[in-house]
């Protein structure tokens, strides 16, 4: 798994390994085939609801990236509490 604090190092790769699977067996098989550790597993409904908030304002002309504090609160709201979701407490934007 790619820790979110490193997501922007290679955002294309980070997004490419966020996959949708039917079962945990499928996840295990994919991880084994690609020699990749299993990360946080979330129901698609949770990620859909998270994405609606996370990306909901991207088309607004005054849109800005979330602050790290805002991002952490959104992660917590959707129970994204696995350690890969940890981001540093800074004044920067995520």
Tens-place pLDDT, residues 13-57: 999 999 999 999 999 999 999 999 999 999 999 999 999 999 999
CA distances from residue 1 to 38, 62, 80, 91, 92 in whole angstroms, order as listed: 6, 32, 14, 25, 23
pLDDT at 89: 87
The predicted-structure confidence for 53-70, as pLDDT tens digits, reads as follows 999 999 999 999 999 999
User: Tell me, what's the pLDDT at 94?
Assistant: 81
Instruction: Give Cα 1 to chain centroid, integer Å.
Output: 10
Tell me the mean pLDDT in the region 4-18: 94
Confidence of residue 2 (pLDDT cuts 50, 70, 90): very high
- pTM here? 0.85
Q: Contact 30/21 with Cβ under 8 angstroms?
A: yes
For residue 83, the model assigns a pLDDT of 94
């Amino acid at each position: 798994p790619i820790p979110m604090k490193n997501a922007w190092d290679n955002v294309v790769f980070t997004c490419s390994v966020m996959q949708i699977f039917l079962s945990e067996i499928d996840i295990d098989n994919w991880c084994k085939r690609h020699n990749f550790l299993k990360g946080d597993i979330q129901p698609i409904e949770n990620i859909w609801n998270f994405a609606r908030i996370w990306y909901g304002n991207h088309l607004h002309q005054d849109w800005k990236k979330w602050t790290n504090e805002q991002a952490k609160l959104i992660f917590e709201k959707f129970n994204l509490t696995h350690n890969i979701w940890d981001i540093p407490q800074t004044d920067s934007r995520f």
